């Protein structure tokens, strides 16, 4: 984890994480891994929400972040999410990090680190890869314990 990965979250990040955690808990109803995300517009209004829906839709791309990004793009009427913030309960994977870069999202806030598949500073760091055409400001560890506990409890029940 680099020094730039240790940015200080704001009070808004904490409030938005509440919404992402609510989405994560909703994923339990379809036996999906409890990960949630919200996309916040430049004015601070929530413009997209998502939760893992891979099991619900048998869609390997139905990650919480992807669902929230798609919804935000529809709301804004543009694939460019300039000025937006994406908040997720788990560090984005390579697919989601790639979508974040392609959507030009300037800020990502996440809760728990994903030491097996994370692509925002743990295993990979796609969001700050200097060879790409867009870089993202990352705020990790927001409500990390709460986000991690939700995942731990889910997987403990599946072992």
- Return the active site residues: 65
Nearest Cα to Cα of residue 111 among 147, 138, 136:
147
Q: Is 93 among the annotated ligand-binding positions? A: yes
Q: Is 84 among the annotated ligand-binding positions? A: no
Q: Is 147 among the annotated ligand-binding positions? A: no
Q: Which residues is 61 bridged to in the sheet?
A: none
Place of tokens 């929230």: 68
Q: Which tokens belong to 72?
A: 């935000």
Give the C-alpha separation, 135 to 104, whole Å. Answer: 8
Element (H, E) at 118: none
CA angle 15, 20, 21 (to 5 degrees): 95
Instruction: Name the binding residues.
Output: 63, 93, 96
Instruction: Name the binding residues for Zn(2+).
Output: 63, 93, 96
């Amino acid at each position: 984890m680099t020094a730039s990965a240790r940015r200080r979250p704001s009070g808004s990040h904490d409030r938005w994480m509440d919404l992402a955690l609510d989405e994560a808990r909703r994923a339990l109803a379809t036996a999906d891994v409890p990960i949630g995300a919200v996309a916040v517009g430049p004015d601070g209004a929530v413009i997209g929400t998502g939760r893992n829906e891979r099991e619900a839709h048998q869609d390997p791309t139905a990650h919480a972040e992807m669902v929230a990004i798609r919804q935000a793009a529809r709301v804004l009427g543009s694939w460019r999410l300039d000025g937006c913030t994406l908040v997720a309960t788990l560090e984005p994977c390579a697919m989601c990090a790639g979508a974040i870069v392609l959507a030009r999202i300037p800020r990502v806030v996440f809760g728990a680190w994903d030491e097996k598949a994370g692509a925002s500073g743990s295993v990979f760091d796609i969001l700050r890869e200097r060879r790409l055409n867009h870089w993202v400001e990352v705020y990790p560890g927001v409500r990390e314990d709460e986000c991690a506990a939700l995942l731990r409890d889910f997987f403990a029940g599946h072992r």
